[in-house]
Structure 1
Amino acid sequence: MRPAIVYLHGFNSSPRSQKANELKAWLPDLNPDIDLLVPELGFDPRRAYQRACDTLTSVAGRPLGLIGSSLGGYYATALSQQFGLRAALINPAIYPYELLHDYLGPQHNPYTGERYTLTTDHMEALKALEPGPIKRPENLFLLLQTGDETLDYREALRRHPHSPCWIQAGGDHRFQNFEVVVPAILSFLGMART
């Protein structure tokens, strides 16, 4: 049965993001048997989480893994706990309901062209998805760069002290030299070509 990876993009991003496109380009060489699914999450946290759940349900019964970037890393953490899946978290947002509070008001998604208003209700919805104490820290693989200009990488280390991690000096929020860590992600997800 073909394994599947569900990639969850970040805030004001989309399936057309650079990392999603890079994964689509690299996976056939690393393991052509993997199906990559990248749902359009949108800005509403409830809808985003439901879309992620629906995507996982669509490939239920197959070997599954998650990759989440930034806000997608927050969703991937909650989904990992809910479904018992392994998840690679790339510069993950740990408390997005605090981080995004400064972004309340009119927003524009440069990938989709969508204009919307980010509200305190959205922050409450994000907080409601907080998975609480992590029961299976070994299911989370942190990929962090110390030069992340949006998130303090140390916050992820404090939140997930018992999870395996890959820390690179420098870099940025986008995660520079992403291709270097993709084989390690596949290995962690149990999807490296044998």
Structure 2
Amino acid sequence: MNIVYVHGLDSDANSMKGLLLAEYCEKHYPSITVHRPDLNQAPEQVFSYLTSLVTKLSQEAKTVLIGSSLGGYFSTLVSNHTGCSALLLNPSTQPHLTLQRFSDEESLDDTATDDELAKQQVLYTTTGGWAITIADLRWFAKHQLSSITYPNKLAALIKEGDELLDASLSAQFYSEQGARVILQKEGDHRFSDFAEHLPRVMELVQQLAS
């Protein structure tokens, strides 16, 4: 089996959850290969890369995505497109709105009709080096999550104490679409107790892959 860990914003291939997952699988599930790509690129590049990777890996063995935060958004898109299974951790469902915290209404209005300027105007640069532009926000707006194509292949693990994203909004969206939602009391956006939940995470991964 393959697992592709899809990190979130301000993270990279060496994210703590990705490393913990890889170490856990190496010790307890040596037959599972964990892929941890660096996805600090424009959203269209991320989507294209993940779609191609999942398509290739799925030809060799069962493949499951584990997506955290913005990675949960991308994992949902890729699942809709390829039919692969995905486990989502505090998934972002409206990045076109939540990422606007790095901009202001004036900057968005100034580039309303200038696509080239929108690609050049950087709103924020992540720790991994992705320079988020207004063009990226427009891409997210054009690729909003409105439905789930394969709800039986998705599960969302959501912390009610998420301080960054609206946990109830994410839970409502995936529940209404028929995906499995597991709410955990308290906690935080980064899933600081992720190591403690790895047995449960792998149980869910195997269920999704079956």
Give the TM-score band, short-chain normalised.
Answer: 0.7 to 0.9
TM-score, length-normalised on structure 2?
0.82
Q: Which of 138, 142, 148 is equivalent to 2:156?
A: 142
Q: Report if aligned partners of 2:10, 2:126 keep a CA contact under 8 Å in 1.
A: yes
Note the alpha carbon deviations across 1:127-182, whole angstroms, 9 max, x for none. 33334321322211111111111001101111111222222111111013212332
Over 4 Å off, 4+ runs: none
Q: For residues 90-169 of structure 1, what are the structure 2 equivalents within 5 Å?
A: 90-104=89-103, 105-110=122-127, 112=128, 114=129, 116=131, 118-161=132-175, 162-169=178-185
Root-mean-square deviation (CA, aligned residues, Å) is 1.9
Q: Which of 173, 189, 192 is equivalent to 1:173?
A: 189
Residues 58 and 171 of structure 1: CA distance in aligned 2, closer, same or farther (over 3 Å): same
**Larger helix proportion of the pair:** 2
Q: Report if aligned partners of 2:124, 2:133 keep a CA contact under 8 Å in 1.
A: no
Residue 186 of structure 1 corresponds to 202
Structure 1 Cα separation of the partners of residues 42 and 100 of structure 2: 14
Q: Report if aligned partners of 1:31, 1:191 keep a CA contact under 8 Å in 2.
A: no
Residue 58 of structure 1 corresponds to 56
Q: Report if aligned partners of 2:161, 2:187 keep a CA contact under 8 Å in 1.
A: yes
Q: Report if aligned partners of 1:41, 1:49 keep a CA contact under 8 Å in 2.
A: no
2:21 matched to 1:5?
no
Residue 21 of structure 2 corresponds to 23
Residues 115 and 141 of structure 1: CA distance in aligned 2, closer, same or farther (over 3 Å): closer
Q: Report if aligned partners of 1:39, 1:51 keep a CA contact under 8 Å in 2.
A: no
Counterpart of 2:10 in 1: which secondary structure? coil
How many residues are treated as equivalent by the alignment? Answer: 187
Note the alpha carbon deviations across 1:94-127, whole angstroms, 9 max, x for none. 10110001113442332x3x273x2221011123
Identify the range of structure 1 (50-59 vs 93-102) with the bigger mean alpha-carbon deviation: 50-59
Counterpart of 1:160 in 2: which secondary structure? helix
Q: For residues 22-101 of structure 1, what are the structure 2 equivalents within 5 Å?
A: 22-61=20-59, 62-101=61-100
**Could you tell me the percent identity over the aligned residues?**
27
Unmatched 5+ stretches in structure 1: none
Q: Report if aligned partners of 2:54, 2:84 keep a CA contact under 8 Å in 1.
A: no
Unmatched 5+ stretches in structure 2: 104-121
Q: Report if aligned partners of 1:146, 1:169 keep a CA contact under 8 Å in 2.
A: yes
